[in-house]
Chains A and B, each alone.
Chain A
Amino acid sequence: EDQVTQSPEALRLQEGESSSLNCSYTVSGLRGLFWYRQDPGKGPEFLFTLYSAGEEKEKERLKATLTKKESFLHITAPKPEDSATYLCAVRNSNSGYALNFGKGTSLLVTP
């Protein structure tokens, strides 16, 4: 069965203090690893899709990387508006089209 584990559960950073969020996964036949951002009471917002080990994608202060067992979401010089819950999800060859989500990392960036 697919397993997606995100760590830490919560992270508090000062503005400008770079850090990384981790997503460890166990799937048979990865068909994509996804990162989403979710603000309280809102729907998840799509950020990145990674398909193969070694792949990297960037968007503003965020960079996502992928290895065979985990993915990292690096946040460089974060700002308070980066505060949100970041969700990782996987899609494997056996799950049809559904995404299997981790429980997320709640990020708070203070001024």
Chain B
Amino acid sequence: DSGVTQTPKHLITATGQRVTLRCSPRSGDLSVYWYQQSLDQGLQFLIQYYNGEERAKGNILERFSAQQFPDLHSELNLSSLELGDSALYFCASSAGQFAYEQYFGPGTRLTVT
């Protein structure tokens, strides 16, 4: 158990809908990262937050957004969902802005039908 929690574990929704994925980092960790894992692309970095502020962006679609709240939990919002958005979404956390080791949560499996 990494100490990172994610909810929900599974999510099934229809195309065009909007969903919110939630992540709570390990106790004391200030950085949160979001990754997408699909069969063909592997693990892809989406976005990073540090202590409430956006710090780095990867190949995140404009339909996707995220935020980190004062209690350090983070939410990833996915809108106008398409079939291709079906994937595992992982949250990871690390101790500080420059900490190298990232610890991953159990993931949310999103299925868009």
Contact = CB atoms under 8 A, between A and B. Distances in A.
A99 interface: yes
Interface of A: 31-32, 34, 36, 41-46, 49, 87, 89, 91, 95-104
9 contacts: A42-B106, A43-B107, A46-B101, A46-B104, A95-B56, A96-B56, A97-B98, A98-B58, A101-B42
Closest 6 CB pairs of A and B: A96-B56, A43-B104, A98-B45, A101-B43, A103-B42, A44-B104
Contacts of A100: 45
Interface in B82-113: 88, 90, 92, 94, 97-98, 100-107, 109
A99 B102 contact: yes
Nearest to A102: B42
B24 interface: no
A27 B45 CA distance: 16
A43 B105 CA distance: 6
Interface of B: 2, 4, 31, 33, 42-45, 48, 55-56, 58, 88, 90, 92, 94, 97-98, 100-107, 109
A15 B101 CA distance: 30
B106 A98 contact: no
A98 B2 contact: no
B23 to A, nearest CB: 11
A41 B102 CA distance: 18
A96 B48 contact: yes
Contacts of A32: 100
Contacts of B104: 36, 43-46
A46 B2 CA distance: 9
B90 to A, nearest CB: 5
A46 B3 CA distance: 12
B42 A97 contact: no
B109 A49 contact: no
A34 B103 CA distance: 12
B46 to A, nearest CB: 9
